[in-house]
Structure formats: structure tokens, C-alpha cells
């Protein structure tokens, strides 16, 4: 009986401990490839687990598409001086990153971002300015 209660208590404890996991970006993006888009910021989502930059940009056929770029987590970005007010809707941006494995998703893993109007630039680890 005591043994059963011990296992029950351990099971309950394990059930309430938060699980921290992280996916490999390579599962969703072609990390060995790089693409760049230029367009206007539609929305900047400064949230966990990753921030997102949504940009209206023209695709290879000249059609306007919303491209979503997955960025770093807000904790890391805030350490680099980036806040939820760093980017504003309407900002003209050049975003460089790894394309999605499924091209119909119009997503990328953000590696570099430039705001040409004032020269502001963010470059991820291992990337060149």
C-alpha cells in the first residue's frame, strides 16, 4: 500500500513539472539554403516561444504574399536590445533566412533583418553583417 502511494505521489509530481522542449529548426526549414525577401511589415509578434515577423512581399510571380519569419525568443531578443516596439507595421524590411521545407507555407527561419530607412540591422549567430 505504501509503495502504491509513493508511485502515485511521484506520478502526480511528474505530472505538474513543466516540460521544456525545443524543436530543431532543421525539421521545418532548409537550413542549408538562404533566401531574402523585401517588403512591408504587417505584424511583429513578440511572444514565446519565438517572435514572428510577418511581411507583405512579392513572390516569384509578382503576386503579393504574406511571408512569416520565425525569429528568436523574446528573452534572447530583449538581451540584444530588441523590444516589442523595435519594429512597426509599415516598416520596409529586408529579411534573410532559411526557407520552409514546404514552399507553399511562405515561412522562413529568420537569420538577418535590415530596415533600410535608418540602417538598423539584426544579424543572428554565425551570420555576417
Stretch 101-122: mean pLDDT, rounded?
96
pTM of the model: 0.78
Write the pLDDT tens digit of every residue in 30-79. Answer: 999 999 999 999 999 999 999 999 999 998 899 999 999 999 999 999 99
Task: Please tell me the predicted confidence (pLDDT) of residue 125.
Answer: 74
In the predicted model, what is the mean pLDDT of the chain? 85
- Alpha helices (H) along 1-129: 2-16, 74-79
Identify the CATH assignment for 32-123 out of 2.40.50.1010, 3.20.20.60, 1.10.10.10, 1.10.520.20: 2.40.50.1010
Domain boundaries, the chain: 32-123
Task: Please tell me the predicted confidence (pLDDT) of residue 52.
Answer: 98
Q: How many Cβ atoms are within 10 Å of 71's Cβ, its own excluded?
A: 24
Task: Please tell me the predicted confidence (pLDDT) of residue 60.
Answer: 85
Please report, in angstroms and rounded to a whole number, the separation of the first and last CA atoms in the chain. 65
107-115 and 64-70 as β-strands: parallel, antiparallel, unpaired? Answer: parallel
Torsion of CA 75, 77, 78, 79, to 10 degrees: 90
Among 65-69, 86-90, 121-125, the minimum mean pLDDT is found in 121-125
Amino acid at each position: 500500500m505504501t509503495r502504491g502511494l509513493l508511485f502515485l505521489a511521484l506520478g502526480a509530481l511528474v505530472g505538474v513539472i513543466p516540460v521544456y522542449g525545443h524543436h530543431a529548426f532543421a525539421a521545418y526549414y532548409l537550413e542549408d539554403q538562404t533566401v531574402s525577401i523585401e517588403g512591408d511589415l504587417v505584424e511583429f509578434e513578440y511572444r514565446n516561444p519565438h517572435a514572428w515577423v510577418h511581411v507583405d512581399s512579392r513572390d516569384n510571380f509578382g503576386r503579393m504574399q504574406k511571408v512569416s519569419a520565425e525569429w528568436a525568443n523574446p528573452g534572447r531578443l530583449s538581451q540584444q536590445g530588441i523590444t516589442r516596439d523595435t519594429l512597426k507595421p509599415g516598416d520596409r524590411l529586408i529579411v534573410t533566412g532559411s526557407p520552409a521545407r514546404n514552399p507553399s507555407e511562405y515561412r522562413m527561419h529568420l537569420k538577418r533583418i535590415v530596415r533600410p530607412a535608418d540602417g538598423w540591422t539584426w544579424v543572428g549567430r554565425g551570420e555576417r553583417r
